[in-house]
Structure 1
């Protein structure tokens, strides 16, 4: 029920429900609610939820990242920087993000701004083509996910070469048209990449199945199976 309330944007009601439980709330409950606060833009509730989550799991890097994302989305740069300082103070390190895709029985691994693949030049060109095509369909980069207070153009460029976008571009290049593209990511997919995947699936008539740290995402015809809540 708390999950359903969070999906509906009723984050304060979900918070009250969790607090009223007779059993101790789990970290996963607070983590899901914190993600909902980020989507809703409720920084006040999000701060309380993050505090509860960190009491349960003080070394959970995802809590700090979600908190930073939430403040960045609200352009609260000082609070975002404070969350990062707190993370460093607790000596918590963010796990490096990477995505991988299997093509012709071979695993291809990508990290952000990765140029180690032999096809990297073609992959980067493909990403540019993909961004151009999905922008024509209505995609707008969600630059609040860059977590930096810089010009919009720089923020957009910082988003283009996330590991999952590189993996999907590689899949578009190396798999037959209309066939599914399957990608696995070790961390939670960021909101901009999630939005981009919906457009890519629609524009290129591909089903994209992406497994991140939270759940499976099945992108098809411009929609995701998660209902934009993850």
Structure 2
């Protein structure tokens, strides 16, 4: 089974450490603390880390050779490995008197009053884990929101390609409709029916001067016109003729 190695920074708080464990994709997580163990020097924090790992179905191990941290890990029942290649194992816990100062932090009663009792109430530890998990989730949501807001939106070329194809098809259909509407749609066949009466046009007519025009009798009045013109010519005779 492949394990995930998480390097803890000296500036990391308990929330950041639990967040790293929760976001790890592997079910086996190796925690490598810094030289200055920082928040890991508290048995309460180690128990919070252990409970959070169990809640998220992960197995954790500390990679350290620090005697104090190894003793705290033994009290929190967290496996310890000397290096990344060695097999982690739970170290036998020391006596309560030797680690009691680390177990009780900020208490107002003496150490003797807590002898033989459990270091931390399980319900309080679970409540603290839930609060830390909520805080980690809120921090992740804020980071994801800020990243999505700052990250430029990459256009979907597949959608753009589909839209382009649809636009081209719509343009072709529009041009085809215009051609059909102008050149083919106006064609029409018109049938005209007319009512007619047969009439003979070979009718003789009479044209007569001084008559009155009458179409029913086929008489047309004629007007007589005359044109007269006088002409004279002068000539010289060229011969003689005896007419008796």
- Determine which structure has the larger helix proportion and give its number: 1
For normalisation by structure 2, the TM-score amounts to 0.26
Higher Cα radius of gyration = 2
For normalisation by structure 1, the TM-score amounts to 0.28
